[in-house]
Every structure is written in structure tokens, then in C-alpha cells.
A and B are shown apart, each in its own frame.
Chain A
Amino acid sequence: MKKIVFTLLALSTMLKTAQAQNEAAASPQTAPIALTGGTIHVGTGEVIQNGTVVFDKGKITYVGSGTPTLPAGTQSISVAGKHVYPGLISPSNQLGLVEIASVRATNDQEEVGDYTPNVRALIAYNTDSEVIPTVRGNGILLTQATPVGGVVSGMSSVMQLDGWNWEDAALKKDDGVHVNWPGYFRRGYNFETGSFSIGKNDRREEQFRELDKLFSDAIAYAQTPAASPVNMKLEAMRGLLDGTKNLYVAADYGKEIIEAVRFAKAKGVKKVVIIGGEESLMAADFLKENNIPIIVNTTHRLPNRTDDDTDLPYKLPYLLSQKGLTVGLGYVGLNWRTRNLPFLAGTVGGHGMTAEEALKLVTLNNAKILGIDNVVGSLEKGKHATLIVSAGDILDMRTAKVEQAYIQGKSLNLDDKQKKLYRTFSSKYAK
């Protein structure tokens, strides 16, 4: 009897646990799907009223106004009055790497060592993170899992927010190496006064020397196609020189941005991306001349200086776009908050930019910068059917309710832990 009770208890515990788990990964698309009669935001700036998107075997086969002839067996879904968008892309963040920031055991974003180009974020990317579905529920379908810390943090990968494990979820493995440019300034914190001060970085020269050496060694190493023995750090750098990987350089100040790009060019790095760029306006013309794209960190931050325009962070992506730069937008360095990515773009929309251009910041522009625009970032024939359907404007929280989402045509279950808790406790009060 005791045994039975125990087993029952164990079973019920298991059931409970199961309840708290994420939904199963989605199944592959089995039949063509047509979303008809909706407002289609292509992601290129174009909007199609009363349009249709058709996709099959995970790929988009039609985007346009009216309704084309649908193949037999097509599942036709009316999205009249609703809006269709490409899945949003969230660059340079720790979703899936950090579960609860204050609990060390759940943090996998930063390795030991200041120069670790070899570490790979996708290995730690936890598809079972309870945070992921809450982000997905707001229309973000792609994330760039990115390591942090040190001078050379490691390699990021672009992940789809669906999959049984990291291997399934990866869209582009090891897409680039992340460098924190040795700044002129370093931030200090005074415990006694509780204030941050920004002073000179006295380790700058040493960091710069090490960085220079790492790149010089990588260049020499790359001259041998199959080096033996393998040096994992230098091997990781190889792609920067042959153009298969991006060099992501986090730099905020104009001077540092100019210096970082010139350094990378001098070392023969093919593709450079600036991350952060809080003070990048001062280097905007330089970036334009050198054709360097930039991923701006969150617009939801305070201006750095008292005298700055109060809305400078809100309009920075717009001002940079006006200079002719390719501008992306991200919630750099964060995990759960990335679900607010559409609203970061929306805020830019309220400060100079049109809503469709603001949408590009988190769709096609991010895709171009990460080098995945061949498959995602816009709703175009041949690209992945990685898209969302919302009740209204996705950039405005008043209307941003996401109703359907597809990754490579797979229909996603949009439930999450928070919705479950909502239902559970709603039922408490319904009784």
C-alpha cells in the first residue's frame, strides 16, 4: 500500500514537473499553408494590403496581393484584419545561455580567460530554457546566442527559437567572433559613494598588444590550410580572414570605433560589425565610407550625458540610418528582456523613422548584418517560412498580440510557463 502511495506521489510529481516544461518542439510542415487576406509587412519596407503568403516544405512559395492558385491540399488560413511579419531577429544576447541571472549555476555566458575566441555559445544554448517561449511569444523567432566577457569572448551562433536541442535549433553555427574593443575608458564602481565613474582604462595598452598578437598569429596560422597540431584559438579565427565569419566588435565611443575598424581592416578581416555604438554618431561618416554595419544597443536606455538630447537613444538608429548606414537593433547582453525587441524598434518609430523602416531594424537589417538574409529577415519567395501573424502592429504593445508563428513552416505552440501560471491562478479566482 505504502509503495502504491509512493508511486502515485512520484507520478503526480512527475506530472507536475511535466506541466512546467516547455512545449514540445514543433513538427515539420506536412502540407502547404496559405495565410490569406492579411496586411503583409514584407520586411523590406514594403507593405501589401489584403495579401497572401503561401509556404510549403518550410519555404515561402508566394508573397503578394490577392490570392494565387493554391496547390492541392493547401491549408488556407484567413488572416483578414491581421498582420503578417517576418520573424524578428534578436542579435547579440544571452537568451538560452542565462536562465536566472543571480543564480550562478544557471549562467553559461562567460568563460575564464580574456582571449577565448574558441568558445562556442551554441554548446550552452539551452533549448529547454523556460525563458525562450516567453520571448518567442512576442514574435522573436531568431536569436544570436553570444558569449560575453574578456577581450575576445568567443563565437556566437544564430539559433531558431524552436528545436529539441541546440543542434536542431542552430540556423548558422559559429557565425562570428566577438571582441570587446579595449576602451580608453573603463568603468569603476565606488562602493562608498555608490556611484559609477568612468576613468582611464590603464590595461588598454596591454590588452591592445595581446589582441594584436592574437590576430598576427592567426594570420600566420591561416597560411597553412590544415595546421598540425591544431590550435583551437587560432583555428577559430581563421574564418575572420577568409570571410566566412563576422568580426563583431563591441565599441561605443567614436574614437574606439574608428580605431577598431582600422585595426580589423589592417589585419585583413573581411567582415566587421560594430556592436553597441552608443556614441557612434561621431564615427558615422567613417562607418559609411568603410561600409561597416552597426547593431545599436537598446534604445530603452538613458542618454550617457546630462546635456545630451533627452531622446538621443530613441532616435540614434534613425540618425545613423540617415547617414546611410546599415543599422540593426538589439537588446545587447540580455536574455528575458529581449522579448521587448519589437518595442525598441517601435520607439524608434516614434522618433523620426517610419514604422516600416523601424521594422527593418529588427528583421532584414539584422539578417543582413548576421549574414542570414539569404534565408530569413523578409517575406520573399524562396526564403524560410519563418514568420508571425499578429493582431495588429507588432511594434506597438497596444496591438502586438502574436497569434501564430512558424519557423521553417513548422507551426509553433505559443504557450509558455507564464501563460500556464496565468491560467492556473485565473482558475483559482474563477472558482
Chain B
Amino acid sequence: MKKRLLFWLCLILAGMQAMAQTPTFPTNGVQDERPGRVAFTNATIVTDAQTTLEGATLLIQGGLIEAVGKNVKIPTGTQVIDLKGKRIYPSFVEVYAAYGMPEVKREARMGRGTPQMESKKKGAYGWNQAVLPEVKAAEMFSGNAKEAAELRNIGFGSAVTHSQDGIVRGTSALVALLDAKDQEALLKSNVSAHYSYSKGSSTQDYPNSLMGSVALVRQTYYDAQWYKGLKGRTETNLSLEAFNQNQSLPQVFEVTDKLGVLRTAKIGKEFGVTYIIKGSGDEYQRLPEIKATGLSFILPVTYPTALDVEDPFDASVVSLSDMKHWEMAPANAGLLAKQSIPFSFTTSGLRSKADFMANVRKAIAAGLDEKAALAALTTVPAQLMKIEDMVGSLKPGMLANFLISSESVFSESNTLYENWVKGTRYIVTDMNASDFRGSYDLALGSRSNLKLNITGKADKPTYQIQVDTTKITPKVTRQGDLLTLSFKLNKAEKGENRISAYYDGKNIKGDGFDATGAPLTFLATYKSAPQADRARSDSSRKAAPYEMGKLIFPFAGYGSEEKAKAETILIKNATVWTNEKDGIVPNTDVLLQNGKIAKVGKSLSTPSGAKVIDGTGKHLTTGIFDEHSHIGLYSVNEGTQSVTSEVRMGDVVNSEDVNIYRQLAGGVTSSQLLHGSANCIGGQSAVIKLKWGETPDNLLIPEAQFIKFALGENVKQANWGDAARVRFPQTRMGVEQVMMDAFIRAKAYEKEWKEYNGSSKKASMVAPRRDLELDALVEILNKKRFITCHSYVQSEINMLMKVADSLGFTINTFTHILEGYKVADKMKKHGANGSTFSDWWAYKMEVKDAIPYNAAMLSKVGVNTAINSDDAEMARRLNQEAAKTVLYGGVSEEEAWKMVTLNPAKMMHLDNRLGSIKVGKDADVVLWNNNPLSVYAKPEKTIIEGAIYFDLEKDKVLRKEIDTERNRLIQKLLTAKASGAATQRPAMQRPRHFHCNTLGGLSEEEGHMRFFGQFNCDGSCGF
């Protein structure tokens, strides 16, 4: 009875304490300051992930830890709580919360409405609505009792919270998860600075692509540097001011996938920032590279819901990578821990916070060490956020934020009793509740041969009455030591027996009425401890090791455990299409060594260790180079401004796109990944080799520096509907003006920098603002970057050449260039290359005069001509497209083949290493089963730099492996469903398809996919 009183007292006390610590506020009543000194004795205290003290004492006062240890002297006037058999932990630290932040309101964005070019935010802030470094979570914070309780109930005591909106998000605040005044809960302002690639609620057009977001981040760093030098001389920009101030804080960058980690690490390197990455949980899929970044992580414990694969038709739409990720996601943290990658956990992204500990336990079951798990909840987050002197461990002077638990916090049978926050007690489960569990002899009125068994968890036991061999489960409600029971002893009874009873410390006694309304006494006499729980003995059994499939690169169908490696390969007796003076030579050997073509000749000797491939009856060519491609990209167009030369496709290369593999199967070895054609001056190209399995950076050919320009209907938004009548230009007249203006600006910019750099008073001058958009244009003027220009009609082709002539540079390539045949002479004179479709036309007005003889005619006039795809599907049969120049215009087979190999290599300025089978060039070759121009031809091997990336025989093995692995996972998913796991119906996500309908209405319901092909036009939507 005493105990219970104490309990209630404590509760009241706790509440009072919380309300009494803001002395600047007026008091309604009498002064009520209390010492708040409490000692917790005889506990097992885990002071941090590394240290556990047995039989120790924790002494707290005024919300802080006074002492912790085995020989703590307890001063008089201290409330003492005996925690014998119980454990104390530092409470957890949530580092990626939006706790107490206002809800982010998003205005519905219409498909293609009137453009919004500038920020809607009023005041002396920056130009972009998604760059908000001035936002301070501390100023926006206001506690929320429900959310605080949610977090406390799973063990969190404090949270670093920030406004999760925008690309640059300002600073976070550390708050205690208290139900108290905000003044008391707010612990620290400006804890960390936050970034993401998502523009959030910004309604401004720019940026609308991932590479636009990256460019904006970069430009903001440069703008801030410039602003620092400006010292307010010409303008005040509160955003840039805040951005500079925020730089000394921990910098946290949120990404949405593993490649985002690599991208962000690169930006960090560029600006000397060591980011903390808020990851997405798939980091294990690129573990070595992620380890190499040296960065720390904040990891969610969100795992995919199991997919319902019962129906084989539905199951067919589920990808292998989705199923594998379902299986491996819980292992993510453990795999990172094994690589000693520092990380903290977050509840961020969980649909229900209550799942948090269960999911952490899953991570432990899948291989994560418990100590690492505890560190990820306590010390690591505190260290990452530089708040380790306040929270995360139990040391004198730190906040009295701690947990009281029955056993290890990671044990499934653990009960979390209390969560003390800043010295305020929050009870999760009453640890002083009596433990009724046991076997009792039950006397009920005149019947005395009954038994009462109370088993299960102490705080939530289960009750059972045994009548002879029949077991009855009574309805029981418990309030402290008071019990209300109702039950029928057998089915024949007409009504319920009702009893009100109490626990006297040993036995349970009570009175009530039976089914007939006659009085009934109840006496349960304690006999013995409860029989061991079966569930308990189950959980104490050693858990089976977590089984999962192999990691493959990339993490998708057709990925391999081992990445392809360069070998010494001798291809014997093939018909070799050299693309050199020798032409097409039969019965010839080619030796590949160290990634290069080492020898070409007859009857070459086999170097030791060489792999010999019989090329008899086969054709060996150099790999296909697709000059115009949009595969392997997260986004294609930053079409929000007419000039976006600052964006780089290299920032958004998706090395996991299966189209890379599909194109290898079509003999393609290199591609120029171009920006789309939605604006006059687009973004910088990523020129890649299709090294399937490697990371984005390893695909790049860094010396190829290109940029996309575009003309005609797309840039003037001719097919965008009536809302798109705002952005300049809307005619071909305006396109010329945009081009001229851009280069005039670039010239002035270059001059400004030259003057600054050459000045003797440089030190006292304000450095010009570095402008990434103009940097790229200056590179063009200086012939360090080259243009590939989307173009169709002769007037605009001629225009752009005139613009370039007047500024002293050359348009390197006109791509598509379907009316090139009309101005081939002018193109030749200017020195432009042409990269065209074989036979496309009639899909929009500006291609009504397109003819399939275009390539033949350009070539005949002397323009270096290529055939490109602009399409992931067509790219895998570019050999067929090249063959069409034989059909249309009578190009020789040798020259036709060059249109997809040597000629594009030339226009990409890469013919020194690509484009022909010549000693010393890259060993990028394809072995075909037939004349490569034939419709019946297919590659048997596609080799890049001496490594076999596609092999028809291995392809068969991979297909088999995909089937086997799919089936294994489907069976596992079925088992999961059968054992009660939540499941979701599969929905198919079709990867971005970068050709869209000329007619609009893409979102209209079709009920069917049959017209998919119709959308496969060249892209009047801007691709």
C-alpha cells in the first residue's frame, strides 16, 4: 500500500516539477521550487554503449546528472528509488526529427501551368524559394504532447529537429521531449545545418530536376563565397548571410538512395565539407564505395513491406531488386557497422513510430552488434551533432535523460518502465505494479476444486480458470491491485459470474454475484510460481543466422557478384571491321591486352594466360557509340529556364539502369547522355562507357566535355499547350536572341574575371561572382567544351552557325539535324558534324521534310555523320539503323558501319582512343554472329577495355540465376505472408521513359498499355 502511495506521489511531483522551472513567468499561486534530487540505487547502469556498471547509483538534481557510479554518496533530502534487478540506459537521441515543426504546406502544382520564375518569399532573402538557410528550427519550435509521448514511449529523450522543407533548410534545434513550456524544452539552437535535393514546398519552377538541385547547391556555395567578400557593399542578402554562418555547424545532407551518397560526397569534396548523410537504407548495395567516402550516416529503419506474390501474374511485375531489398534491408546497418562506418539511427520515415524498436531488433537479428545499435541510438548521434556534452551518455553535468528497463533494451521481452527527460519522470509501464503471476487454488462460493493460473508478462498477465480439465478465460480488468472478473464456469450457465477482487500481496480475495444474482465469494490462494512460458523459452533459443541472397552489382537483375575485369583476350580468325585503311579484313586475329588493342594480324601467337575466342564465321567490330542517349539518368531536363548550362548530367548518372545492360546486348559500348531539349541552352553531357556494375563515376569518360543546345519547337514550347506562352522565347526569332545574349554575357563575364585576376589591387577588390552558367559558356568560347545541338529545320541550323561564326567558335555537332541535307554545304564549311536519326519523320511539324536519305547526303557532301538513337530501345539495334543508310542512299557497308562507331567517336573528339580496331586504342570491341549490319545479327560478346561486359553464354546463366533467385524470394515472401507479415499488392513502376507524347494527355486514363508506342516520338515534350 505504501508503494502505491509513493507512486502516485511521484506522478504528481513529476507534473509539478515540469511546470515550475520558468522563473521569468509569473506564478499563479505560491512559490513552489523543489530540489528535485533523486537517487537510483542498486541498478545495472549502462552509462554509454561501452560501459556497464553493476549495482550502481545514479544521482540527479534539477534536471542534470549529479553523479553516477558504485560509490555515490547520497545526500540527505534525496528521494531514493531502488532499482534492484533493473537497468538504466541513457535515453535515445533522435537526430532527424521534424518534432515540433509546423506542417509543411504544399501548394498543388498543376501539370504545366504559368511559369513562376522568382521566389514568392518576401524580404531581403535569396532568389530561390527552395534555398532557405535563414530558417531556424529554434524559432519555429513548439512542442507537441502527442508526438513527444510517441518518441518517449520508444526510448527517446531528446531530438534534433529541423524544418524538412527545401534544398537548403537552415538550422536545427535540440529539444527535450518534455510536456512543458517550449522555453524549457528547447535545449540548443543552431545545432546543425540541413540540405536535401528536394525543393519541397517551393512553387518556383527552378529547379525541377535532380541535376538542377545539384547545380543550385553548387551555385549557392559560390554565391555565399562571393557575398562574404562583398561585405554588404552593394546588397544585403539574409539567405547568403545565414548560409555562411551555418557553415561551422555539422552539415547534414539527406539523400534518397545509395548513389545520392556518392553524389553528395563529391559535392562535399568540391567545397571542403564533410557531410553527415541522412541515408535511405540501401547503402549496403554500394558498400565499398560508400565506405570510401569516409562519411557518417543517419540511417532510417524503414524496411519494405513484404510484397504479396501469391498470384503469379501479379508477382511477375515485382522486380528482383525489390524482393532482394525486402530481404536485405534489415541487414543494412549491420553491414555498415562491419565496415566501421559511423551511423546513427532515426525514426524518420517510419509510418508508425511504435515499429521502431522491433525494426532495430530486426537489424540486430540480421547481424548488427547490440553495442553498435546502442551507440547508434545514443553516443553516435550526440557526437555527430556535437551535443555529446548534453545527451547520449550518463555523466555528471549532462542532462538527466535516461531510461529504466527490465532488461536489455534490445531484448524482445524487455519492458521499458520509465523515461526520464531532463529530470522529469515519464512512466511508460508501472514498474511498481504487483506481480500477480502464479498458480492459485481457487475457492468460488462453495466450490473449492478450481484453479487460477496467472501467466505472461508481469504488467500485462493472462488469466485462466481451470475447472477440472476445462480451461476458461475470464474477462479481467485491472486497476493497480484491483481486479474485476467476469466468467462462465460452463456453457450451460445462463449468465456471467461477476467478481470484484483485490491482491493482498499474496492472495486474491473478492466478492460478487453468480449468474443467478446470488452472492459469491472469491478466494485465490497462492500455491506456486507460474509454469515457464512457452513463448519465453522459444525466444531464449539461439536465433538462427539471418539468411539472405548475395550482393550483386548493380543491385538488380543481370547484376553480378563480381564486376567485370580486364583480361588478355585473343580473338582468332574473325572478319574484322577495322574502320581503318585496311577496311573489312577476313580471317584476322585481334589481341586485347591491358585494356587496349595490342595486336591486329594473321595467325597471332597466344600469350600465356590469354583467353582465346574462336571468331571463325564471326565479325569483330569496334563498339557502337551512341551520340544521343538519355539512358542511365535520374532526370533529363532542367527546362525551367532558357539557359541552364550550369546543370551537369554527370551529377545524375544512374549506373543501375538495366538499359545499360540491354544496350551492351546490342553492341553499344559508349553513350553520350544528353540533357533534354526543353530549353535553348541545356546542361552539360555525361559521356560514359557502359561498364555495367561500376559506379557512376567509373562510367564517365572525363575528357569528353560537351553540352546540349536545342532549337525549334521544343525550346519555343510549341507543343506545350496554351499555358506555356510566357517563357522567352516563343519563336525562332527569340531563340537567336537567347543564344546571342548568353554569349555576350559570357564574354563580359570572362573579361571581368581576367581584369580581376590581372589586377595588382586584387587583394582589395571584391572578387567577381563565380557563375556556373557562364563558366560553361566561357568554356565553349575557349573551345574547351563543345556543343551538341538538337535541331531540325534549315533556318535555325543556319542561324546557330552564324551566331557561332560571329563569336569565333564552331558548333561541334548538330544532333537530329533532319533537314541537314538542305544545308549540308554550309555545315561542311562551318565544320559541324551531323548526328541524325536514320528514318524518323512526320511526328511533328518541324520534321515534315525529314528524309531517310539525310545521313547519306550529309556524308556525301563531306559532313562527318553519325546515326544516333535518342531512345533506349532503338539504341540496342543501332546496327540496324546504320544499315538503313545502305537502303536509303546507297552508302557502302563499311561507311555505314562507321556512322555508329568511328564517326561519333570523331565528333566526340575521342577517335584517338575509340572508334576503330587499331593497335593502341581502347579494347572496346564486339563479336557478332553475323554481318553486324544485318537484321539477323546479334552480339555474342561485348568487351570494354578488355573486360567482357556482355557474353551471350553468361547471359543465359544470368537469366537462370534471376529465375532461381526470384523463386527463392517468392517462396520466402509466401512464408512471410503465411506467418502473418503485413503485405502489399505489387504495383509496377515503369522506369522513366524519355520520349513523350506529342499530343499531351499522358496522364489520361487509357485502361491499357496498347498505345504505349505512340508516346515513343522524338520528344516534342523536350527530349
Residues of chain A having any CB pair with chain B under 8 Å: 99-104, 107, 131, 148, 151, 180-183, 185-189, 191-201, 203-204, 207, 250-255, 275-276, 278-279, 282, 297-298, 300-307, 309-311, 331-336, 339-340, 343, 346-347, 349-351, 355, 395-398, 400-401, 418-419, 421-422, 425-426, 428-429
Q: How far is the CA of A428 from the CA of B313 in the complex (A)?
A: 59
Q: Which residues of A contact B1010 (CB under 8 A)?
A: 180, 250, 252, 275-276, 297, 332-333
**Across the A-B interface, the 7 shortest Cβ-Cβ residue pairs:** A346-B935, A102-B998, A307-B557, A102-B844, A350-B936, A189-B1002, A250-B1010
Q: Which residues of A contact B317 (CB under 8 A)?
A: 198, 305
CB pair B861 A429 closer than 8 Å: yes
Q: Which residues of A contact B849 (CB under 8 A)?
A: 421
CB pair A306 B1007 closer than 8 Å: no
B810 CB, min distance to chain A CBs, angstroms: 21
Given the known inter-chain contacts A180-B1007, A275-B1010, A398-B886, please indicate yes or no for A310 contacting B843, CB distance below 8 A: no
CB pair A349 B1014 closer than 8 Å: no
A-B contact pairs, 6 of them (CB 8 A): A102-B719, A102-B998, A107-B999, A397-B887, A422-B889, A429-B860
A52 CB, min distance to chain B CBs, angstroms: 27
CB pair B844 A398 closer than 8 Å: no
Q: Which residues of B contact A425 (CB under 8 A)?
A: 821-822, 824, 857
Q: Which residues of A contact B227 (CB under 8 A)?
A: none
CB pair B321 A306 closer than 8 Å: yes
**B990-1013 interface mask toward A, CB cutoff 8 Å, 1 = contact, 0 = none?**
111110001100110111111111
Q: How far is the CA of A401 from the CA of B891 in the complex (A)?
A: 13
* B295 interfacial by beta-carbon distance below 8 Å: no
A201 CB, min distance to chain B CBs, angstroms: 5
CB pair A398 B931 closer than 8 Å: yes
Q: Which residues of B contact A107 (CB under 8 A)?
A: 999
Q: Which residues of A contact B658 (CB under 8 A)?
A: 306
CB pair B316 A305 closer than 8 Å: yes
Q: Which residues of B contact A350 (CB under 8 A)?
A: 930, 934-938
**B857 contact from A200, A398, A422, Cβ within 8 A:** A422
CB pair B842 A396 closer than 8 Å: no
Q: Which residues of B contact A197 (CB under 8 A)?
A: 987-990
**B842-863 interface mask toward A, CB cutoff 8 Å, 1 = contact, 0 = none?**
1111001101110001001100
CB pair B988 A198 closer than 8 Å: yes
* B665 interfacial by beta-carbon distance below 8 Å: yes
Q: Which residues of B contact A331 (CB under 8 A)?
A: 1013
Main secondary structure of the interface of B (DSSP, over half): loop
Q: Which residues of A contact B937 (CB under 8 A)?
A: 350
Given the known inter-chain contacts A197-B987, A343-B880, please indicate yes or no for A180 contacting B843, CB distance below 8 A: no
Given the known inter-chain contacts A307-B966, A397-B935, A429-B857, please indicate yes or no for A187 contacting B884, CB distance below 8 A: no
**A306 contact from B556, B821, B931, Cβ within 8 A:** B556
Given the known inter-chain contacts A194-B992, A255-B313, A297-B1010, please indicate yes or no for A100 contacting B861, CB distance below 8 A: no
CB pair A252 B1009 closer than 8 Å: yes
Q: Which residues of A contact B872 (CB under 8 A)?
A: 302
Given the known inter-chain contacts A186-B1007, A203-B1007, A347-B935, please indicate yes or no for A401 contacting B887, CB distance below 8 A: yes
Q: Which residues of A contact B934 (CB under 8 A)?
A: 350, 396, 398
Which residues from 465 to 519 on chain B have a C-beta closer than 8 Å to any C-beta of chain A? none
B905 CB, min distance to chain A CBs, angstroms: 23
Q: How far is the CA of A347 from the CA of B938 in the complex (A)?
A: 10
Q: How far is the CA of A186 from the CA of B556 in the complex (A)?
A: 25
* B955 interfacial by beta-carbon distance below 8 Å: yes
Closest A residue to B936 by beta carbon equals A350
Q: Which residues of A contact B844 (CB under 8 A)?
A: 100-103
B997 CB, min distance to chain A CBs, angstroms: 8
Q: Tell me the total A-B contact number using a CB cutoff of 8 A.
A: 232
Q: Which residues of A contact B1020 (CB under 8 A)?
A: 102
Q: Which residues of A contact B860 (CB under 8 A)?
A: 429
CB pair B1014 A398 closer than 8 Å: no
CB pair B966 A181 closer than 8 Å: no
Closest A residue to B1001 by beta carbon equals A189
* B82 interfacial by beta-carbon distance below 8 Å: no
Q: Which residues of A contact B998 (CB under 8 A)?
A: 101-102
Given the known inter-chain contacts A102-B999, A183-B1009, A187-B1009, please indicate yes or no for A192 contacting B109, CB distance below 8 A: yes
Q: How far is the CA of A151 from the CA of B989 in the complex (A)?
A: 24
Q: Which residues of B contact A191 (CB under 8 A)?
A: 111-112, 1003
CB pair B990 A196 closer than 8 Å: yes
- Most interface-central of A101, A107, A311, A426 (chain B CB within 10 A): A101
Given the known inter-chain contacts A207-B1007, A333-B1013, please indicate yes or no for A306 contacting B884, CB distance below 8 A: no
Q: How far is the CA of A200 from the CA of B988 in the complex (A)?
A: 10
Q: How far is the CA of A186 from the CA of B1008 in the complex (A)?
A: 6
Q: Which residues of B contact A282 (CB under 8 A)?
A: 312-313, 316
B985 CB, min distance to chain A CBs, angstroms: 8
Closest B residue to A421 by beta carbon equals B851
Q: Which residues of B contact A255 (CB under 8 A)?
A: 313
Closest B residue to A107 by beta carbon equals B999
CB pair B1002 A334 closer than 8 Å: no
A270 CB, min distance to chain B CBs, angstroms: 23
* B893 interfacial by beta-carbon distance below 8 Å: yes
Q: Which residues of B contact A252 (CB under 8 A)?
A: 1008-1010
CB pair B853 A102 closer than 8 Å: no
Q: Which residues of B contact A151 (CB under 8 A)?
A: 1007
CB pair B887 A336 closer than 8 Å: no
Q: Which residues of B contact A303 (CB under 8 A)?
A: 662
A181 CB, min distance to chain B CBs, angstroms: 7
CB pair B848 A100 closer than 8 Å: yes
Closest A residue to B886 by beta carbon equals A398
CB pair A310 B1009 closer than 8 Å: no
CB pair A101 B843 closer than 8 Å: yes
CB pair B1008 A302 closer than 8 Å: no
CB pair A418 B853 closer than 8 Å: yes
Given the known inter-chain contacts A199-B987, A429-B857, please indicate yes or no for A398 contacting B841, CB distance below 8 A: no
Q: How far is the CA of A303 from the CA of B661 in the complex (A)?
A: 12
CB pair B842 A201 closer than 8 Å: no
A315 CB, min distance to chain B CBs, angstroms: 11
Q: Which residues of A contact B1014 (CB under 8 A)?
A: 101, 333-334
* B898 interfacial by beta-carbon distance below 8 Å: no
B52 CB, min distance to chain A CBs, angstroms: 48
Q: How far is the CA of A398 from the CA of B848 in the complex (A)?
A: 25
Closest B residue to A335 by beta carbon equals B842
* B687 interfacial by beta-carbon distance below 8 Å: no
* B32 interfacial by beta-carbon distance below 8 Å: no
Q: How far is the CA of A189 from the CA of B999 in the complex (A)?
A: 14
* B839 interfacial by beta-carbon distance below 8 Å: yes
CB pair A189 B1003 closer than 8 Å: yes
A282 CB, min distance to chain B CBs, angstroms: 6
Q: Which residues of A contact B857 (CB under 8 A)?
A: 422, 425-426, 429
- Most interface-central of A183, A200, A203, A303 (chain B CB within 10 A): A183
